[in-house]
């Protein structure tokens, strides 16, 4: 119990590199000849400072994600740091966001991972490109996703994963998963306005949706739902 109290005191103190933690005595000077190099690095934690550090010096790790185990290590008399069992884990939402960013994609809002590319492609070419990336063309079913996306596309044109079906002489709009597009349809002013005999798809336009021929060449964007589990 007493040792646990001392360990807790040393864990909360941040002694400089010319002192060591002595429990209730706090940080006290030590001999300069006894030193350790830089503390062991811990993945995802802030970088460890450069040494040397004196025997007894305690380094407290800083983790901006999910910390586990004791968050410190101490310089020992043999010039080595005590075994660092501390872990700084990126889990859940943080893990998904980190994975999205590490792949060169963009986190959009709270639930979506997007890829943007200014290369101009037809609708079918853009669809194939998204599939090759393990993603899909955006199927924007909520105002929250659309508003989050606008922060990244603004007035630019990009393909969206929706297309027209004129079966029976009535134009209906569907997502790429063949589900009918729901009530949320933020068409730009005067849109849709394409002719019934044109094979049309949806693109972003003037902070709204536009219906354009699928053989037009415009940039693509792809989407992947972020898993928070």
- Same domain assignment for residues 71 and 104: no
Whether the CB-CB separation of 36 and 52 falls below 8 Å is answered with yes
Nearest to 187 by CA among 215, 220, 133, 146: 146
Whether the CB-CB separation of 35 and 20 falls below 8 Å is answered with no
Find the angle CA(115)-CA(154)-CA(111) to the nearest 5 degrees: 45
Average pLDDT over residues 4-29: 63
Count of residues making up the chain: 229
- Domain interval for residue 72: 2-89
Band (173; pLDDT cuts 50, 70, 90): very high
Cα–Cα distance for residue pair 158/116, rounded to 1 Å: 9
- Same domain assignment for residues 85 and 54: yes
Q: Is the pLDDT of residue 228 over 80?
A: no
Those residues whose C-beta lies under 8 Å from the C-beta of residue 183, and which sit 6 or more positions away, are: none
- Same domain assignment for residues 58 and 121: no
Average pLDDT over residues 26-32: 63
Asked which of 42, 72, 89 is the last residue of a domain, the reply is: 89
């Amino acid at each position: 119990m007493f040792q646990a109290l001392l360990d807790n005191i040393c864990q909360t103190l941040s002694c400089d590199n010319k002192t060591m933690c002595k429990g209730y005595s706090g940080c006290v000077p030590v001999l300069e000849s006894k030193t350790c190099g830089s503390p062991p690095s811990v993945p995802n934690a802030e970088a460890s400072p450069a040494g040397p550090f004196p025997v007894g010096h305690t380094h407290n790790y800083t983790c901006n994600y999910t910390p586990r185990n004791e968050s410190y290590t101490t310089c020992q008399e043999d010039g080595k740091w005590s075994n660092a069992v501390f872990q700084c884990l990126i889990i859940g939402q943080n893990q998904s966001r980190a994975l999205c960013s590490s792949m060169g994609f963009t986190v959009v809002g709270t639930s979506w991972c997007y890829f943007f590319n200014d290369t101009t492609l037809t609708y079918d070419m853009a669809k194939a490109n998204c599939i090759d990336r393990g993603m899909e063309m955006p199927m924007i079913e909520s105002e929250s996703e659309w508003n989050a996306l606008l922060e990244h596309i603004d007035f630019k044109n990009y393909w969206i994963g929706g297309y027209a079906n004129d079966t029976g002489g009535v134009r209906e709009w569907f997502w790429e998963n063949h589900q009918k597009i729901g009530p949320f349809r933020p068409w730009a002013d005067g849109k849709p306005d394409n002719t019934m005999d044109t094979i049309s798809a949806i693109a972003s336009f003037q902070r709204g949706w536009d219906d354009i021929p699928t053989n037009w060449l415009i940039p693509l964007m792809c989407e992947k739902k972020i898993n928070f589990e």
